[in-house]
Chain A
Amino acid sequence: MAKGIIFDIKRYAIHDGPGIRTTIFLKGCSLRCQWCQNPEGQRTEPEIILRSPRCATDCNQCVSVCPQDAISKDGNSIEIDKAKCDLCAECEEVCVYEALEVVGREVSVQEVMEEIKKDKIFFDESGGGITFSGGEPLMQVDFLEALLKEVKKKNIHVALDTSGYVSFEELDRISDKVDLFLYDLKIMDNKKHEKYTGVSNKLILDNLRKLAERGKSVAVRIPLVSGINDDDQSIQTLVNFLQSLKNINQIDLLSYHSGGREKYKRLKKEKLPKAFHSPSKERIEEIEKILADSGFSVKEGV
């Protein structure tokens, strides 16, 4: 059976689609959005995160247990030599302070299903279900497809949070098993999109158009970042594009928060991303109004 790499399972997820949901975070993403809030979801492979404030100065367990001698420690500051580390996770096991954690673990479809089934009663009661998020879940399309098959056997509602940056064949492969697409649209201007996310938006826009043509249920999600995609022109281009599509009327606005930078520190990424900001409350309300006046149903995410 197919196996995949996930980095989190969150129960009582209430911001990722209708009802009470369990969100499965699949690891790996082709985009490198500079404001990424889940940087631990970018790389496909597992990696170690450090929560230094939890680390005990007088504890040396991780250093002594590491078979590769990859860990050094000064006070509560841990250094891991990534070249030596083979992610055996022995350090995580001995770290009773939970300062070291391997994010990303290989799981089978069955293991994920066990977790999913636990909250079935809440899904049934609330009209909720499962949301696959990431990362970009379609990066592991075989695993995702196998999972979707099992989830659908149980008659559970499925939402898929996607960047849309995948081949349409892959999207199409799973689209009949997805009840709701949460489709991220970041920047309409292609040059800007390339600059801030690392990839062109052409494929993303094309795929959205095709999904809409097939009558799929889609909610467009827009992460609002001040100075990047919140100006009048950006919003107008977005409106024009979405109005040219069939069947799209739900927009979720998500506001950016610099808190994600904290996670970069834990991941020991070489470069901390630039600090972006969310638009002001007033500006978000203005944008909401523009979108609503253009006939969209708008929800502000939190």
Chain B
Amino acid sequence: MTAEESATYTDFALINTGGIKQDGSDAVNELSYLILDVVEEMRILQPSSMVQISEKTPDSFLKRALEIIKTGFGQPSVFNTDAIVQELIRQGKSVEDARNGGASGCVETGAFGKENYNLTGYFNLTKVFEITLNNGFDPQTGKEIGLKTGVASSFKSFEELFEAFKKQLKNFVDVKVKGNSVIERLYAEHLPSPFLSLLIDDCIAKGRDYHDGGARYNTSYIMGVGLGSITDILASVKYNIFDEKQITMQDLLKALENNFEEDETLRQRFLNKTPKYGNDDDYTDEIMKFVFEAYYDAVSGRPNTKGGFYEINLLPTTVHIYFGKVVGATPDGRKAAEPLSEGISPVQGADRKGPTAVLKSASKMDHVRTGGTLLNQKFTPHLLAGEDGIEKLAHLIRSYFKLNGHHIQLNVVTADMLRDAQKHPEKYRDLIVRVAGYSDYFVDIAVDLQNEIIKRTEHKSF
């Protein structure tokens, strides 16, 4: 991965605290709290920190973590131990190895010390759709790089279009896996890791290198990027072309080609009058599930060259920005080169029904069949104020984890973000602030009141 693609130099070490012991009992102890103290005091960005919350984790530990999150530097992130364990067991790990495992890097699960699990590459789901819509042709590079799955205007139904997308998707996963196999063999034959092989279980017993199937478990992950974007794109095509018949496929293609230059009204329709993922609306959430299943079917269970298997996870790191740059305008109202959605979060500004709706939407996919999903959720400080705010947030997270959610990262809205919202209201249509006894969309209130809220946000000493 290049610096241009990643735009970050973090090393992705992740300190796991909390969780459960090998025998399944709660693992929170004095040291867990001490680690949180250090995280709070040092505010270190690397290594990153996270807490594992299981059903058995005491509330006091979760609340201690939330107090630190509230200070607004994005850490620790919060993981669901019970989901992680289920994910690992489904992948074939023993119960003990699963309980000793956790998440590393961004959000990916692994059996610590016993597994070689590799993130083998990011997968641009939205790009695949762009190529599908152009019958195998990539309008950005002018090259034919996909299959000929049919001219877009020839599709009689959404289902036909989706079938074409699935074919295209499978084809690109084929290409990806072919390339991966070469890379895996290169590592196995020319880049052995004797030191790592000493540390990872069964390499010595098997007499094989870490990169050559020596580890007890060997998993290759392909990371799906832009789930929110691809869902909104497909929902928009289904809704506006096939269901409501607002526009024709030809008109859509023309508008996309021109980057909505002469179609601002159409773009606004896509943005404001079209169902969006993240609102607990089955219309879009069902489409999200179709995409999930298609991606899962295309990737999961394929053998790699190390005796292990491919699995999916849904995390973007920072690549959703780079991937956005190589995709033209899309039917969800996104203009060319703008970022895609990240992880399994809704498209920025698309979720308008608050956090419970986002969590409900996100939980409709089967997290257990992934090796990790990433959900970012913005919170305005008023939602976290006081002991009450923390208490309710703790309940919110526990509910998401009951629904098998894998991970949630809470980002507290800062004064700087609000200033950015004043400049770019379109990106912050979902941002609700507490004015006083009532709440309102930040971008809708008068400038002097916005300024006052910015001041309030700045001065709130958490």
Closest-by-CB residue of A relative to B355 is: A12
Whether B355 pairs with A257 at a CB distance below 8 angstroms is no
A256 and B435 alpha carbons, distance in the complex (Å): 10
Whether B353 pairs with A37 at a CB distance below 8 angstroms is no
Q: Is A107 an interface residue (CB 8 A)?
A: no
Give which listed residue, A54, A56, A98, A262, contacts B440 with CB less than 8 A. A262
Q: Is A51 an interface residue (CB 8 A)?
A: yes
Residues on the B chain within 8 Å of A38, using CB = 438
Residues on the A chain within 8 Å of B444, using CB = 51, 53-54, 262
Give which listed residue, A37, A96, A98, contacts B438 with CB less than 8 A. A37
Q: How far is the CB of A71 from chain B (nearest CB, A)?
A: 17
Residues on the B chain within 8 Å of A256, using CB = 436-437
Q: Is B176 an interface residue (CB 8 A)?
A: no
Q: Is B272 an interface residue (CB 8 A)?
A: yes
Q: Is A14 an interface residue (CB 8 A)?
A: yes
Contact A20:B437 (CB < 8 A) given known A12-B355, A96-B273? no
Whether A118 pairs with B437 at a CB distance below 8 angstroms is no
Contact A259:B272 (CB < 8 A) given known A20-B356, A118-B360, A121-B402? no
Contact A14:B280 (CB < 8 A) given known A119-B356, A254-B437? no
A16 and B402 alpha carbons, distance in the complex (Å): 24
Whether B398 pairs with A125 at a CB distance below 8 angstroms is yes
Q: How far is the CB of B137 from chain A (nearest CB, A)?
A: 30
Q: Is A104 an interface residue (CB 8 A)?
A: no
Whether B445 pairs with A14 at a CB distance below 8 angstroms is no
Q: How far is the CB of B277 from chain A (nearest CB, A)?
A: 15
Whether B265 pairs with A59 at a CB distance below 8 angstroms is yes
Mask: chain B, 379-401; 1 = CB below 8 Å from A; 0 = not: 00011011011011001101100
Q: Is B294 an interface residue (CB 8 A)?
A: no
Closest-by-CB residue of B relative to A124 is: B399
Whether B399 pairs with A125 at a CB distance below 8 angstroms is yes
Residues on the B chain within 8 Å of A56, using CB = 264-265, 268
A259 and B398 alpha carbons, distance in the complex (Å): 34
Q: How far is the CB of A163 from chain B (nearest CB, A)?
A: 14
A11 and B352 alpha carbons, distance in the complex (Å): 10
Whether B437 pairs with A257 at a CB distance below 8 angstroms is yes
Chain B interface size, under 10 / 10 to 19 / 20 to 34 / 35 or more:
35 or more
Closest-by-CB residue of B relative to A16 is: B437
A125 and B66 alpha carbons, distance in the complex (Å): 17
Whether B392 pairs with A37 at a CB distance below 8 angstroms is no
Q: Is B42 an interface residue (CB 8 A)?
A: no
Residues on the B chain within 8 Å of A260, using CB = 435-436, 438
Give which listed residue, B268, B355, B402, B437, contacts A37 with CB less than 8 A. B437
Q: Is B208 an interface residue (CB 8 A)?
A: no
Mask: chain A, 216-234; 1 = CB below 8 Å from B; 0 = not: 0000000100000000000
Mask: chain B, 432-453; 1 = CB below 8 Å from A; 0 = not: 0011111110001110010000
Whether A11 pairs with B354 at a CB distance below 8 angstroms is yes
A98 and B357 alpha carbons, distance in the complex (Å): 21
Q: How many A-B residue pairs have CB under 8 A?
A: 99
Q: Is B403 an interface residue (CB 8 A)?
A: yes
Give which listed residue, B383, B435, B446, contacts A257 with CB less than 8 A. B435
Q: Is B269 an interface residue (CB 8 A)?
A: yes
Q: Is A241 an interface residue (CB 8 A)?
A: no
Q: Is A82 an interface residue (CB 8 A)?
A: no
Contact A257:B445 (CB < 8 A) given known A10-B354, A19-B395? no
Residues on the A chain within 8 Å of B388, using CB = 14
Whether B272 pairs with A98 at a CB distance below 8 angstroms is yes
Count of A interface residues, CB-CB < 8 Å: 36
Give which listed residue, A20, A121, A128, A262, contacts B449 with CB less than 8 A. A262
Contact A122:B356 (CB < 8 A) given known A51-B444, A53-B444? yes
Q: How far is the CB of B62 from chain A (nearest CB, A)?
A: 12
A125 and B394 alpha carbons, distance in the complex (Å): 10
Give which listed residue, B396, B437, B438, contacts A12 with CB less than 8 A. B396
Q: Is A255 an interface residue (CB 8 A)?
A: yes
A125 and B396 alpha carbons, distance in the complex (Å): 8
Whether A122 pairs with B268 at a CB distance below 8 angstroms is no
Give which listed residue, B268, B398, B437, contacts A301 with CB less than 8 A. B437
Whether A20 pairs with B446 at a CB distance below 8 angstroms is no
A19 and B273 alpha carbons, distance in the complex (Å): 32
Closest-by-CB residue of A relative to B267 is: A96
Q: Is A64 an interface residue (CB 8 A)?
A: no
Whether A121 pairs with B399 at a CB distance below 8 angstroms is yes
Q: Is A126 an interface residue (CB 8 A)?
A: yes
Q: Which of B385, B396, B434, B436 has the most CB of A within 10 A?
A: B436
Residues on the A chain within 8 Å of B265, using CB = 56, 59, 61, 96
Q: Which of A237-279 contact B (CB under 8 A)?
A: 254-257, 259-260, 262, 278
Give which listed residue, B353, B385, B440, B445, contacts A11 with CB less than 8 A. B353
Whether A14 pairs with B392 at a CB distance below 8 angstroms is yes
Q: Which of B268, B280, B403, B445 has the most CB of A within 10 A?
A: B268
Residues on the A chain within 8 Å of B357, using CB = 11, 118
Residues on the A chain within 8 Å of B395, using CB = 19-20, 122, 125-126, 128
A188 and B375 alpha carbons, distance in the complex (Å): 49
Give which listed residue, A14, A96, A128, A278, contacts B389 with CB less than 8 A. A14
Residues on the B chain within 8 Å of A15, using CB = 434
Whether A118 pairs with B392 at a CB distance below 8 angstroms is no
Residues on the A chain within 8 Å of B402, using CB = 121, 125
Residues on the A chain within 8 Å of B356, using CB = 11-12, 20, 118-119, 122
Q: Is A302 an interface residue (CB 8 A)?
A: yes
Whether A14 pairs with B383 at a CB distance below 8 angstroms is yes
Residues on the A chain within 8 Å of B399, using CB = 20, 121-122, 125-126
Residues on the A chain within 8 Å of B385, using CB = 302
Q: How far is the CB of B279 from chain A (nearest CB, A)?
A: 10
Closest-by-CB residue of A relative to B389 is: A14
Counting from the closest, the 3 A-B pairs by CB-CB distance are A257-B436, A126-B395, A96-B268
Given A11-B356, A97-B272, output 15 extra A-B contacts at Cβ < 8 Å: A10-B354, A12-B396, A14-B389, A38-B438, A53-B444, A96-B268, A96-B271, A96-B273, A98-B272, A122-B356, A126-B391, A126-B392, A126-B396, A260-B435, A302-B434
Q: List 25 A-B contacts (CB under 8 A).
A: A12-B356, A12-B396, A14-B388, A20-B356, A37-B435, A37-B436, A37-B437, A53-B444, A56-B265, A59-B265, A61-B265, A96-B268, A97-B272, A118-B357, A122-B396, A125-B402, A126-B391, A126-B392, A126-B395, A254-B437, A256-B437, A257-B436, A262-B446, A302-B382, A302-B385
Which residues does B use to contact A, with CB under 8 Å?
264-265, 268-269, 271-273, 280, 353-357, 360, 382-383, 385-386, 388-389, 391-392, 395-396, 398-399, 402-403, 434-440, 444-446, 449
